[in-house]
């Protein structure tokens, strides 16, 4: 019996060595490639990609459909360097926040297929993807130089872009205006917003409102309201004072919680931003409003009953007070089990370090490159009156007062503010 048990123990140890030893070897190989790749230019990475991927299939998953167009441009770029290069490619876009499951399943397969991802929701990325080792961060050399970052000291994620969701309202009746962020949560107001279960960055936005910076801005905007509006809102703010203390927020946290409570209690939730805009641009949607992706304005079809001229971007109005929307990022990663890691690094460098590579996102309003050099070129190409008057990222951050997603803060308050928001949502 002892010999049998010893034999089984040896078999178990051998199996563990094969299972985990091979896994660690695979992990170390991807890490090693990333470490080397971070010292290389795009041209050098492209050479590696051509050598690695010729005759193979490059599979990516992402939260943006525009990745497919960017991937085609990347293949064309590689072919311009080597006319004999031939690579097939796939860009898959999982729906309803399933991308985390797709990446996890692929990672646990014997033969993984996915090499890179473009993914949103900084909070879940940290806990589900980075902390578990499924995704590996790669920082392109030229991106770091453009941002004046020391790669060895940088511990943040790699964002492709900032995307803004802004308040848009139907302005057919010129007497109906929204000139303060508190106007959206007054009694009788009912905006439209994308459901958290379909896009969790919306929940991150609400969490970010409790950050001291944005809570203070909410307080300042509150005192710019008329006395009558302040009186109507004050009971909710007073009721949130004790809640703010329980949740560990600072003295202005009650303003953030009051806004969140009233918003969640009144908003109409949808499964997509498209239907929100389609409703707002109708001639008959007088006074209606929503918080949605700015770039959706490009898709408005002019008809007798609907028009782009029927809506206004609230923050563009003179004298507007408070935040005009929120900004979040798409982040880029190489998968830890990537079959084509060099190609993944080259593609990430291509879309973050060249205006052509980023053009799939940057050729329209509401999408701003994380690379300042690329963004300046994109601004010159696209962000002007011919593109719905987009005023660019600097304006939106400083004048439009975007509430910007901070993955670390969202992760920090997930168990407190995040849970409180979930309870509000269920009760609404």
| C-alpha span between 294 and 166 (Å, rounded) | 6
State how far the Cα of 272 lies from the Cα of 274, in Å rounded to an integer.
Answer: 6
How would residue 385 be classed by pLDDT, with cut points 50, 70 and 90? Answer: low
Q: pTM of the entire structure?
A: 0.88
Rounded CA-CA distance 281/122 in Å is: 32
The domains located in the chain, with CATH, are: 25-161+329-387 (3.40.190.10), 164-327+401-427 (3.40.190.10)
Tokens for 262, please give them: 């009233």
- Give the alpha-carbon dihedral of 328, 147, 160, 218, to 10 degrees: 10
Contact 263, 206 (CB under 8 A): yes
Q: Which of 15-19, 74-78, 162-166, 379-383 has the lowest mean pLDDT?
A: 15-19
Angstrom distance (rounded) from CA 297 to CA 336: 37
Beta strands (DSSP E) in 308-419 are 311-313, 325-335, 367-369, 403-404
Quote the CA–CA distance of 89 and 114 in Å, as a whole number.
11
pLDDT at 25: 39
Q: Mind listing the pLDDT tens digit for each residue in 281-305?
A: 999 999 999 999 998 998 899 999 9
pLDDT average, residue stretch 362-378: 90
Place of tokens 């050399």: 141
Radius of gyration of the chain (CA): 24
- Round the average pLDDT of the chain to a whole number and report it: 91
**Which pLDDT does position 197 carry in this prediction?**
77
Element holding 339 (H helix, E strand): none
CA distance 78 to 45: 10
DSSP character for 298?
A: G
For residue 215, give the nearest of 152, 148, 260 by alpha carbon: 260
Give the three-class secondary structure for 258.
helix
- CA atoms within 13 A of residue 148's CA, in its CB half-sphere: 1
Q: Look at residue 17 and tell me whether its pLDDT is greater than 80.
A: no
Q: What is the mean pLDDT of residues 254-268?
A: 97
Would you call 185 helix, strand, or coil by DSSP?
A: helix
Please, what is the Cα angle at 325 between 324 and 329, to 5 degrees? 145
Map tokens 């994380």 to a residue: 370
pLDDT in tens, 106-144: 999 989 999 999 999 988 998 899 989 999 999 999 999
Asked if 370 and 160 touch (Cβ cutoff 8 Å), the reply is yes
User: What is the pLDDT confidence band of residue 381, given thresholds at 50, 70 and 90?
Assistant: confident
268: left (phi over 0), alpha (psi -120 to 50) or beta: beta
- For residues 44-62, give the mean pLDDT: 98
The better pLDDT of the pair 28, 137 is held by: 137
* Confidence grade of residue 382 (pLDDT, cut at 50, 70, 90): low
In this predicted structure, the answer to whether residue 383 has a pLDDT above a threshold of 60 is no
């Amino acid at each position: 019996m002892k010999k049998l048990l010893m034999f089984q123990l040896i078999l178990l140890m051998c199996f563990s060595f094969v299972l985990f030893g091979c896994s660690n070897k695979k992990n170390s190989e991807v890490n090693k490639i990333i470490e080397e790749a971070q010292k290389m230019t795009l041209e050098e990475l492209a050479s590696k990609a051509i050598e690695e991927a010729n005759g193979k299939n490059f599979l990516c998953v992402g939260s943006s459909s525009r990745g497919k167009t960017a991937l085609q441009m990347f293949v064309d770029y590689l072919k311009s360097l080597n006319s004999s290069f031939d690579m097939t490619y796939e860009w898959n876009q999982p729906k309803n926040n399933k991308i985390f499951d797709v990446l996890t399943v692929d990672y646990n397969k014997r033969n993984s297929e996915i090499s890179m991802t473009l993914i949103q929701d900084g909070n879940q990325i940290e806990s589900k993807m980075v902390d578990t080792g499924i995704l590996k961060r790669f920082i392109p050399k030229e991106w770091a130089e453009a941002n004046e970052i020391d790669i060895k000291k940088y511990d943040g994620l790699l964002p492709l872009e900032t995307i803004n969701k802004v308040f848009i309202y139907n302005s057919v009746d010129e007497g109906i205006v929204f000139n303060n962020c508190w106007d959206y949560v007054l009694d009788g107001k009912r905006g439209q917003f994308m459901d958290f279960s379909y896009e969790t960055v919306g929940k991150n936005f609400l969490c970010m409102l409790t950050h001291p910076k944005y809570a203070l801005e909410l307080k300042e905007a509150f005192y710019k309201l008329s006395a009558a509006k302040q009186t109507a809102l004050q009971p909710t703010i007073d009721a949130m004072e004790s809640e703010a203390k329980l949740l560990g927020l600072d003295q202005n946290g009650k303003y953030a919680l009051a806004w969140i409570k009233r918003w969640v209690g009144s908003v109409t939730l949808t499964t997509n931003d498209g239907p929100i805009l389609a409703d707002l641009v109708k001639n008959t949607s007088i006074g209606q409003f929503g918080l949605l992706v700015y770039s959706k304005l490009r898709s408005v079809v002019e008809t007798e009953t609907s028009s782009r001229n029927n809506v206004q971007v609230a923050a563009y109005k003179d004298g507007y007070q408070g935040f005009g929307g929120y900004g979040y990022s798409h982040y880029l990663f190489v998968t830890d089990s990537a079959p084509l890691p060099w190609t993944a690094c080259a593609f990430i460098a291509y879309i973050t370090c060249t205006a052509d590579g980023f053009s799939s996102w940057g050729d329209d309003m509401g999408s701003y490159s994380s690379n300042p050099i690329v963004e300046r070129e994109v601004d010159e190409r696209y962000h002007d009156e011919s593109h719905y008057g987009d005023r660019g990222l600097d304006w939106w951050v400083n004048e439009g007062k975007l509430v910007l997603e901070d993955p670390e803060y969202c992760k920090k308050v997930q168990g407190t503010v995040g849970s409180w928001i979930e309870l509000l949502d269920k009760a609404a």
